[in-house]
Amino acid sequence: MKIFNQYFYLMLLMVVCSFIPYLMQPTTYLSDLKPPVSLIGYVPKEFSGWKVLDNKVANIVDPELQQSLSNIYSETLSLSFINDKDQVVMLSIAYSPAQTEGKYIHYPAVCYPSAGFKIESINQSVLKTKFADIRIKKMFAVANARFEPVTYWALVGNQVVLDESDSKLQRVKYGLKGIIPDAILFRVSTLNVNASEGFELNEHFINDLLEALPPDRRSQLIGI
Amino acid sequence: MSSRVYSSKFSNWISENQPKINYSFVLIGLLFLFIPTYLFLFNRVWQTESSSHGPLVLGIIFYLFWNKFDAFSINEQYQHPKIGYLLLIIGLFIYIIGRSQEILFLYVGSQIFILIGLILILFGGKTLKALWFPLFFIFFMIPFPAFVINALTMPMKVAVSIVTEQVLYLFNYPIAREGVMLHIGQYKLLVADACAGMQTLLTLEAIGLLYLNLVRSESILRNIVLGILIIPISFIANVLRVITLTLITYYFGNEAGQGFIHGFAGMFLFTIALLLIFSIDNLIQFFINRKIKSL
């Protein structure tokens, strides 16, 4: 015969708990806290024997995929480079200003199979560069007559991540500090039937690129 | 003088309506917790193809609870506040973390802890037992983390592609397969994530289990066998769908294969799968009955 009985207090408990997440939700965008990232001209067109390759071959991309990609990434950069030995690598950098539901970056390990590739092998490894040791993923993807060793890593905020659980963990770490992190996906690949040769070329290119970049962009890409 | 009359009328009203008031309190609490959850699910998660079974499962759960409403009137001797509060607090904690950090799995899964906790605090063990099925069903609504879905979808896609290729090859069609890409005639078809049949499988399992619960199947054997058989049935139905669409593309071209036939074929095969499930259930019943008779 009371109003303030067990049921009332349970209701109070639940109502209060329904408001706490609002207080804890991250509201600060990491991208607002630093200078805006623009990928145009991000990478020098010529360095260490590498030169941008102007190939007019358009990538046939499924329009639905294109749409979902533009939802996630505000900026993408896709370039091919050729060196004096006529070896070609493909560079792809994508930037997502806010990692929230629906905008989580897609990893090549998921994207490539969805596009019809078969993953012959995929391993985690460490790339030793002059500047830092970077955790990388090495994925050998095959489709039709296309053999593509892909070397990639991603960054959530300034932490290197290699797959969805990695990035979820980092996202939550930022979230508990009230920050919504941004993300970068960095991918280098080449066409080579010989996987280890291809990976070596990728790593060679990455090293050359990191040396040629100004220090601020370099640390942005390797997470220092 | 008049304020005492009013206050005694008020306290009479309270005594008369105490149970309703009590349950309203709890209901209000639950609404505050879960309306944001479901708004989020509806607007952000259930719009995608990979989670389209959500609203259906939610509808089924409401129906199941409504169906079992008399469970709340079971005469209970003891409540279990210690376990109940423990589960409730755990559930609320998971809810807060999940909701503030957008971890869907936790956010939606916390419901189970919270509901079980509340039932144990306010009702009792018998009520919980009576409501085990609707509570268990909530599992089907929980969005699994992306990497779990990916890990399961990939082998399913490959299996579907392999079987499709083998079957069509058997019938002398010019078909070749590369990973999950099918080449038939001059056409190239990609077996997409949606074709893996993950959604179909979950929806069929949900409906299959619902069906078993509604017909009050007593035999545990029947329940388990059917629950397991739904998996190959769903797989077969899905393979048939991919084969059908491949053949349509082969004979009528890409436009036909990707057009409205796509959705239509999906629904058609889904219906066939359901009918298969019911027929197989009858078959199982037949065998079980025969076994019982011969004993």
Residues of A in contact with B145 (CB under 8 A): 164-165, 168
**Tell me: the pLDDT tens digits for A85-144?**
989 999 999 999 888 877 888 899 888 877 778 888 999 999 998 888 999 999 999 887
- Of the candidates B100, B150, B178, the beta carbon closest to that of A144 is on B178
Nearest CA in chain A to B107: A21
Residue A142 exposure: Cα atoms within 13 Å on the Cβ side: 13
**Tell me: the pLDDT tens digits for B218-243?**
677 777 888 888 888 888 888 888 88
Q: Global pTM? A: 0.76
Q: Detail the DSSP E strand segments found in chain A.
A: 28-29, 46-47, 50-53, 75-82, 88-96, 118-128, 133-143, 146-156, 159-161, 179-180, 183-190
Tell me whether residues B32 and A172 touch, CB distance under 8 A: no
Q: What number of residues does chain A have?
A: 224
Best of B86, B101, B254 to mutate (most A CBs within 10 Å, chain A)? B101
Buried b (16+ CB within 10 A) or exposed e, B202-223: bbbbbbbbbebbeeebeeeebb
Percent of chain B scored above 70 by pLDDT? 95
Rounded to whole angstroms, the Cα distance separating A211 from B98 reads 41
Residues of A in contact with B25 (CB under 8 A): 7-8, 10-11
Rounded to whole angstroms, the Cα distance separating B161 from B180 reads 6
Rounded to whole angstroms, the Cα distance separating A37 from A96 reads 10
ipTM score of complex? 0.74
Contact B63/B209 with Cβ under 8 angstroms?
Answer: no
Residues of A in contact with B101 (CB under 8 A): 171-172, 175-176
Binned average pLDDT, 10 residues per bin, chain B of 295 residues: 63 78 88 90 74 78 82 76 90 92 86 91 84 85 76 83 90 84 83 75 83 74 82 86 86 77 78 84 80 73
